[in-house]
Amino acid sequence: MAIEQTEIVALLSELECRTNFSIKKVTEYMLPKLKDPFYLYVDGKQAQLVIRPAYEVFKADLAALEGVNAKEQYCHYSEMTRFPKRVQKSVNGIHYGLAFSFDSADGLKGFIKQLITINQG
C-alpha cells in the first residue's frame, strides 16, 4: 500500500528538500543543495513524486529500488511549469514528467538519494 501525502511531505522535509510553492494538486520541491525541481502531485488520495522526463534513462533503475513504483504513463499537469511541454490533447501542449509512488519511507528515501547521486554524477 502506498504511503500517504502527509508522510511524504514529512519525509521530504526530513531529507532537506525545500518547497517553492503549492498550487491546487501540486507542490514544487527542489533537491537538497541542488536546483533540480520535482513535484508532489496528489490525484485523489494517490500521492506521487513527478520528476523531469530527462530522467527517463534512469526510470528502470529508480523503479528497481525496493518500495518504489513507476507509473507507466507520463503525468501531465499544467502547473508543473519547470518541466517541458508535450502536445497531448491541447494545441499548446502541457507540462509532463515521470511519476512514482512509494510503498515505504525507505523507498522514498532511497529514491531521493538516487536522484541526488544522478545529479552529482
Q: CA angle, 75 as apex, 8 and 55 as ends, to 5°? A: 80
| Count of beta carbons in the 10 Å neighbourhood of residue 36 | 18
**Per-residue confidence at 7, pLDDT binned at 50, 70, 90?**
very high
For the chain, the structural domain boundaries read 5-120
**Per-residue confidence at 43, pLDDT binned at 50, 70, 90?**
confident
User: Rounded mean pLDDT of the chain?
Assistant: 94
Per residue in 49-82, pLDDT tens?
Answer: 999 999 999 999 999 999 999 999 999 999 999 9
- Per the DSSP assignment, residues forming a β-bridge with 27 are 22, 40
The CATH T-level fold of domain 5-120 is Aspartate Aminotransferase, domain 1 (3.90.1150)
Q: Which residue did the predictor score with more confidence, 90 or 64? A: 64
Phi, psi of 69 (to 5 degrees): -125, 120
